[in-house]
Amino acid sequence: MERSAVASGIHHNYILYPSRAATSTTRIHSSFSSLRNFPSSSLRIRHSPSPVSSNFIISELSRNRCDAVSSSTTGVTELAEIDWDKIDFGLKPTDYMYAMKCSRDGEFSQGQLQPFGNIEINPSAAVLNYGQGLFEGLKAYRKQDGNILLFRPEENAIRMISGAERMCMPSPTVEQFVEAVKTTVLANKRWIPPPGKGSLYIRPLLMGTGAVLGLAPAPEYTFLIFVSPVGNYFKEGVAPINLIVETEFHRATPGGTGGVKTIGNYAAVLKAQSIAKAKGYSDVLYLDCLHKRYLEEVSSCNIFVVKDNVISTPEIKGTILPGITRKSIIEVARSQGFKVEERNVTVDELVEADEVFCTGTAVVLSPVGSITYKSQRFSYGEDGFGTVSKQLYTSLTSLQMGLSEDNMNWTVQLS
């Protein structure tokens, strides 16, 4: 149903927009929305020789439309011609992205698929000048039977709505968000790795693209989704990572934006992360900024500590991102009889911990082999997963990939 809808909704409909670079803009309508153009705005989608040329786009559109039709009639999907055994966590340009706009009235227009490419934006856009932007991250997996699974997309939609409220932005509804994700994934189906080779990373963005000069919310917003096939986030793969506790820089402060997925949170961690990586560490573990004693999170992951089969993780209180993988691991662990505590976890507890692991959409669950704090190194089974982390990793990934029954009702299947 959804596959054939996408195939019939993609048209060779090229609408040109003026550009100082004399490049063209291509609009492709999605069947999940009405066939109307976006209003003239401060953001245009541009296609230049980098990362994809116009000739490449035209030939790809022609070939991909045939692929989509072939998929809907034969049930066989042609995969992109890349070495699936060597993909890492990096951007690989795919075929389509999705966009919809919101004006001052707070109502989002119907969304559209467009060829993946560069965007043109007003230099006075709020996202560029004042950081008024959010993003999300989720994944799609290919099952052995060829069907596609999304993992808890409605949770990402709810988190974006919460973040948008904090950043004075309108947000797509849960229904709009989920349908946009489905549309984008199905249009890029050939880029979803074969079973066991990785996943399709989905990046929704919400940006203040309207022009402002004085500090104020933007008059216009753009919701955009692009995707990329990915492998493991850390170069170690599922091998244990090595962290260092950061004692000088802090990721978030009480009353700030640490609890929402705003773009500025991530630029702020690059300094400490770069220093740590230059010293040979995988990433940084942050402490709270008031007492400098309680664990908060890694640069882009939540942290868990295991002692005597009791799992502890820092509680959500405004400075820690409420990770969807974090929430899922807690629920899976409790369903399997583990005691899980969400509380203040002191840095001293790292000394006696049996296991430590990180969770996040990109990493899923990554075992921590060692943590260095004030020149002291604490090790936790540097040869691989601990018993608890291995059990939880296997349970969650089996569910995400469709290898086990989804008793949690977390996955959304696309045909």
- Tokens of residue 387, six digits: 């018993």
* Catalytic residue list contains 261: yes
DSSP class per residue in 126-190: HHHHH--EEE--EEEEE-TTS-EEEE-HHHHHHHHHHHHHHTT-----HHHHHHHHHHHHHHTGG
- Tokens of residue 148, six digits: 């596609």
Closest CA to 211 of 43, 409, 367: 43
SS3 6: helix
- Tokens of residue 181, six digits: 């994700």
Which stretch of DSSP H or E encloses residue 73?
helix 54-74
Q: How far apart are CA 33 and CA 49, in angstroms?
A: 29
Burial 45-71 (b: 16+ CB within 10 A, else e): bbbeeeebebeebbebbeebbebbeeb
Q: How far apart are CA 44 and CA 194, in angstroms?
A: 34
Residue where the block lists tokens 């000739």: 55
Catalytic: which of 86, 92, 261, 307? 261
**So which residues are the catalytic ones?**
261
